[in-house]
């Protein structure tokens, strides 16, 4: 087969876009590549969709609920179901990434060696998606 792929951009459904954007942009250092127009909803003013990038890592966020339909609190079942989703992100300097995140106020355990031989640390985003940062190169 001659088909070649050049990237993968996960799209995750988020409960609260401003909270998720603040986490990914302000805590993890992602930049906004593109976004849908800002809308004024009962939940606030924000874009319903965002494309984010850090280095060669792309991620898209999309609001899980339409305007005026978001419940007052996240659905516990939905949050728990995100627990089995892991996104692995390669880092050329894992220790510096860990230090940057802890300086940004994230409470995370230090890097450890995985059972399969990669040094890594992990954290959960506001919607309970697991992000694993691992040493590469």
Q: How many CB atoms lie within 10 A of CB 58?
A: 16
Res 104: pLDDT: 95
Res 56: pLDDT: 93
Task: Write the CATH number of the domain with boundaries 11-135.
Answer: 3.10.180.10
Question: Does pLDDT of 122 surpass 90?
Answer: yes
pLDDT tens for each residue of 19-66: 999 999 999 999 999 999 999 999 999 999 999 999 999 999 999 999
Residue tagged 């989703």 (tokens): 85
Res 7: pLDDT: 87
Report domain extents, the chain: 11-135
pLDDT higher at 37 or 84 = 37
pTM over 0.85: yes
Instruction: State the chain's mean pLDDT as an integer.
Output: 94
C-alpha 18, offset from chain centre: 13
Closest by CA position to 90, among listed 136, 46, 56, 57 = 136
| DSSP helix/strand/coil, 103 | helix
Q: How many CB atoms lie within 10 A of CB 82?
A: 17
């Amino acid at each position: 087969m001659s088909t070649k792929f050049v990237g993968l951009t996960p799209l995750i459904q988020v409960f609260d876009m401003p909270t998720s954007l603040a986490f990914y942009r302000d805590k993890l250092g992602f930049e906004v590549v593109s976004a849908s127009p800002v809308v004024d909803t009962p939940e606030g003013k924000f874009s319903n969709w965002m494309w984010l990038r850090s280095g060669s890592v792309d991620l898209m966020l999309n609001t899980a609920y339409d305007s005026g339909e978001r419940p007052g609190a996240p659905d516990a079942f939905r949050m728990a179901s995100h627990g089995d989703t892991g996104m692995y992100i390669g880092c050329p300097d894992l220790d510096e990434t860990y230090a940057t995140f802890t300086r940004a106020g994230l409470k995370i355990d230090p890097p450890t060696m995985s059972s399969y031989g990669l040094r890594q640390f992990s954290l959960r985003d506001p919607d309970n998606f697991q992000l694993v940062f691992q040493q590469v190169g």
